[in-house]
Chains A and B, each alone.
Chain A
Amino acid sequence: MPLPAEFASLEPFSDWILVTERERYAKRLASSMAEMQAFYDAAFPLLEPATTYLEQFPVDSLPDPERNLLLLMMSLVTVSFPVEVWKQARVPDSGAAYLDLVSEPAV
């Protein structure tokens, strides 16, 4: 799963390149805080450079490496709650509740 050359430092985290929210959320629930923190620490400083870099492409026709970068940053959004707020993978006080994203804008 190649990334644009400028973002090659994120390749160790390419298992976070996931197409659907369901996959991203499942990986969040299956990950330890240490794993999510490591991904966040590597990716967060590159979030702003990535959005600036991706400006040059229309979002509905991204080449593969750029699409991978966007998907990776969507996973960063998914783990931002556990890392920045919850200190755990699950939403506190959410118990057995679930909410499936059954249809989402394609990337």
Chain B
Amino acid sequence: MPHFAKPAEGSWTEHYPELGTAPVDYTDSIDPAYYEAERKAVFRRTWLNVGRVEQVPKTGSYYTKELAVVDTSLIIVRGKDGEIRAFHNMCRHRGNKLVWNDFPGEEVKGTCRQFTCKYHAWRYSLNGELTFIQQEEEFFGVDKSSYGLKSVRCEVWEGFIFVNLDPAAQPLADYLGEFAKGLEGYPFHEMTEVFTYKAEVGSNWKLFIDAFAEFYHAPVLHQKQAVKDEADKLLRVGFEGLHYELHDPHAMISSWGGMSPPKDVNMVKPIERVLRSGLFGPWDRPDIEGLDPLPPALNPARHKAWGTDSFHFYPNFMLLIWAPGWYLTYHYWPTAVDRHLFEANLYFVPAKTAAQRLAHELAAVTFKEYALQDANTLEATQTMLKSRVISEFPLCDQELLLRALHKVTADYVKEYRDAAAR
């Protein structure tokens, strides 16, 4: 008997009949040809989140973003008109990378009035126009107005900056769809105290999304994180989501979270009791507008034990919003069929007191303890998948988002391959 109500069909998975309930083929995570198809079919066609507006606070603020998956580097910059634009990080003269410091592969950030190429001093304005050619008279009728930086589609949703390499892509708001609409108004802009984590992980990008798209694993893999009685209870009961929802290609899982604050302080560790914080974040909500009432997409089951919602915006951006008033993002940037760069950002309302700062620190430290256990399973999975001894795996109802991720990706790849064959 489920603790939380399931749809009339009897399961979350059967509520979405197009997914089926059959075992899922994970060849999609080891096949180099499939990965090459994903790069074109998915990453060159979908909206990719590359940061937040706080990273470009004023005119001339810029940062670069290395996107190995689509073989490019981008410059994200705020212009004199306040607009945020994205350009390929490439000089029009002979293709040198335009903005970088000592190492061409490292991302950089800063503020400038214009971009000047290191190589021959060609200059570009903040909105990408070519403004100066060194020894212009030596050239053969180069019309500067035709040699601006090559731009990339760039749109902003609730302060999140997205790019799309497909000039014909639908507008960002249409792509993000219902979940995004239902999250509008959440006070993301108040949560500007950021912890940024990075790691290179030896697995296919989809495997780490899999790991964070279900909590079925949590009472098992993380059982040593809780005090003994609590861990035993969690393991006995298992995990059930409060609610699942798919809006192709995106998905969400809503989860309970009785730990913030806990019903009984003996459920948590001594440091959590003193600092009033833990995995689910600080127990005391920040004093800002916008947390009550919450936007309608949050806590869709309207459950009083609600703890966190995870939104997976396809392909590689996850947004987790926690009941106590903070949020977290995950990005998974593929670099090869069996490698990706993982990035996590934790966002809090800036601490005013040492107690608040320490509460944030404890949430951040706890996040890392959990994430290290999650990350470590991935290489183990990747190497065994690569053996091809077994390629089909049964997924349970609590793993609905994984089923959706692999299906949606297969749909994109099929559409691309069919179009290429025509």
Residue positions of A touching B, CB distance < 8 A: 21, 44, 47-48, 50-51, 54-55, 57-59, 62, 66, 70, 73-74, 76-78, 80-81, 84-86, 91-105, 107
Contact = CB atoms under 8 A, between A and B. Distances in A.
Contacts of A57: 354
24 contacts: A44-B270, A50-B354, A51-B353, A51-B354, A51-B355, A70-B358, A74-B358, A76-B271, A77-B275, A77-B362, A77-B365, A81-B369, A93-B221, A96-B379, A97-B376, A99-B368, A99-B375, A100-B198, A100-B199, A101-B195, A102-B197, A102-B198, A103-B196, A105-B193
Interface of B: 193-199, 201, 221, 224-225, 269-271, 274-275, 342, 344, 350-358, 360-362, 364-366, 368-369, 371-373, 375-376, 379
A54 B224 contact: no
B402 to A, nearest CB: 20
A96 B376 contact: yes
Given A80-B269, A80-B271, A97 B199 contact: yes
A99 B371 contact: yes
A97 B199 CA distance: 8
Nearest to B362: A77
Contact of A101 (B221, B364, B372): B364
A54 B353 contact: yes
B363 to A, nearest CB: 10
A93 B380 CA distance: 11
B197 A91 contact: no
B352 A59 contact: yes
B356 A59 contact: yes
Contacts of A105: 193-195, 350-351, 357, 360
Given A51-B355, A101-B197, A101-B364, A77 B350 contact: no
Contacts of A99: 197-199, 342, 344, 368, 371-372, 375
B234 to A, nearest CB: 15
A102 B196 contact: yes
Nearest to B377: A93
B355 A54 contact: yes
Contacts of B344: 99
Given A84-B270, A101-B364, A55 B199 contact: no
Contacts of A94: 372-373, 375-376
Contacts of B366: 81
